[in-house]
Structure 1
Amino acid sequence: MSEQTALDDPHAQPARKLGDYLTNALIVGIIRLALALPYTARVRFVGWIVERVIGPIAGYRRRALRNLAMIWPELSATRRAEIASKCLNNVGRTFIENYSAKDFPARMEKVTPTGPGSEALQKAVDEGRPVILVTGHFGNYEATRAALVAKGYDIGGLYRDMKNPYFNAHYVKTMEAFGGPVFPQGRKGTAGFVRHLKGGGQLVLLFDQHVQYAPILDFLGEPARTAVSAAELAIRYDALLIPFYGIRQDDGLSFECVLEAPVPHSDPLTMTQALNDSLAARVRAAPEQWFWVHRRWRADQP
């Protein structure tokens, strides 16, 4: 590594490395404490600690409130605060569910996905046609993949490396625990999931985070840079493009898994806008379940 590269690499700086190490140590401590609890208590505990402690300290609550005020200024401050609190609770629950490598998949084995996309998925598998399943950070985005893997589907996933390398090492293992291959973003990972897709496999992609230089499309009435890669891959490999959602139920522990009708092939922008519209409808129906903590709308947009 050159001197200049070392200076540019935040993980090469001792202070940053120490901070990453300590942050990961705290996270691992919470995970280990939670995993020692019975499943129901575990999920409720981490939901509470993210809602009441981690979310406010880390600035996630403030960011959620800012996003909510931009999208729905007509809502009362009380209602926006309620949505932000429940959002953080859902984030915490999702986090520890995805670390419950045995308990969570076992619960999802009992769930049968519904919706018009379910039949379309099975038909495509029978015909050897690839399928791209697309969702956002809503409910628990791993719930439906876990349910489908339990039914025998070989569903791969694409993930974005976390900035904290210590955390990333065990974060990746949580996705591998649900079955089906997982691939990191980047040249190597892309090659792997393309091979999986070309072989008639199924892939899960999340598309609802800001991507620099991506096209600007409408999301919840505001311009948002949105990756069109899922639609591009669907067109290139003649894959079905199916929006899906793992919707948390009122008990806070169970899920309804819904596969919507496939998005018709046209062009990447039109298809991706359809995905945005699908997710926006889900967010409007259950705003507490979407991750308002992300920086979805950025100031670099005109």
Structure 2
Amino acid sequence: MPTPEADDRPRLTDRLANGAFLAVMGLARLLPYRRRIPLVGWVFAHILGPVAGWTRRARRNLAQAMPELDAAERARIARGVLDNAGRSLAEIYAGDAFTDRIRSSDPLTGPGLAALEEAARSDRPVILACAHFGNYDAMRAALAGRGWPVGALFRPMNNAAFNSHYIPAMRAIAEPIFPRGRAGIAAMLKFLRGGGMLALGFDQFAREGEVLRFFDLPSRTVLTPAELALRHEALLVPISGRRLPNGLDFTVHVGEPIPHSTPPEMMQALNDDLEAMIRATPEQWFWVHRRWKQYD
């Protein structure tokens, strides 16, 4: 029988994948920031994405959601998607070089910023509705740079070896972060009730979610952000860290707060807002997710 220590040890395949990732990041860190970030983006777009099948899945999702695009345009966007993903991951591991760059520019903007500032002054709870667009952590770094209490719920990766360095890298950008699970949810709710700003994703397939519309396709959408906003009288605002054309800097766009109504109506408003943002710059959304997988 294996010992408990052996049971807790990451699988060999996980250790190998983690080792390969650390090797790429270790080599990239030998370069200055301005060269490192685009290099990792290139590796994801031209090597890892095609090998892992991510590029193919992105093209398939694009064909389903935006059939007006031709094959060449879908291929171009898919490369951009993987480039952005690689850049984002390199930025998470860049530590102070990333967070200092964000905070020194104070990139917060948008029609909902005044409402967010008022919520911070009055300690009103806030649900930050965010998607896998641009770089999610640019938003956390920018809010923390203002001295605002920003927390986030996250799901640990299946690869335990990867979590051993990924979670500390996330914590270094802003705290607190709450792992999914009973203890994490309890701590998250206490943080929110105390006037915290809680980042919650809403753009992935949710098996128990409500069937709403996204790109005019039925897609199961989580209702939790709206439900928590209603339950705790919290502001619900869409927010995104949008990558600028230079590939290294961001604006953090705060959208108009979503009016309180019913959870499905509120989440449909968020879906519509996200769709408009994606249509403007489709390469910044993570098209690799199987957002419509129940209808594949």
Query: Distance in 2 between the 1:210 and 1:70 partners?
Result: 15
Aligned CA RMSD, in angstroms, stands at 1.9
Residues 1:97 and 2:91 are matched in the alignment: yes
CA 13–180 in structure 1, closer or farther in 2 if over 3 Å, else same = closer
Q: Which runs of 4+ in 1 moved over 4 A?
A: 11-14
C-alpha displacement of 1:12: 5.2
Query: Distance in 1 between the 2:135 and 2:8 partners?
Result: 35
- The C-alpha deviation readout for 1:52-108, integer Å capped at 9, x for no partner, is 000000000010011011112221111111100111101100111111111110000
Query: Distance in 2 between the 1:223 and 1:173 partners?
Result: 37
Report what 1:78 is aligned to: 72
Query: Distance in 1 between the 2:190 and 2:273 partners?
Result: 28
1:39 to 29, 33, 37: 33
Residue pair 1:135, 1:244 contacting (<8 A) in 2 also: yes
Query: Distance in 1 between the 2:252 and 2:123 partners?
Result: 23
Query: Distance in 1 between the 2:215 and 2:276 partners?
Result: 9
Query: Distance in 2 between the 1:211 and 1:166 partners?
Result: 26
1:25 to 19, 26, 41: 19
Q: What SS class does the counterpart of residue 293 from structure 2 fall into? A: coil
Query: Distance in 2 between the 1:12 and 1:63 partners?
Result: 33
Aligned length: 293
Report the TM-score, using the length of structure 2 for normalisation.
0.95
C-alpha displacement of 1:215: 1.2
Report what 1:56 is aligned to: 50
1:66 to 60, 63, 83: 60
Report the TM-score, using the length of structure 1 for normalisation.
0.93
C-alpha displacement of 1:116: 2.1
Unaligned segments of structure 1, at least 5 residues: none
Query: Distance in 1 between the 2:107 and 2:57 partners?
Result: 35
Report what 1:87 is aligned to: 81
1:269 to 264, 267, 275: 264
CA 222–46 in structure 1, closer or farther in 2 if over 3 Å, else same = same
Unaligned segments of structure 2, at least 5 residues: none
Residue pair 1:135, 1:279 contacting (<8 A) in 2 also: no
Query: Distance in 1 between the 2:109 and 2:288 partners?
Result: 28
1:124 to 116, 119, 142: 119
Residues 1:212 and 2:207 are matched in the alignment: yes
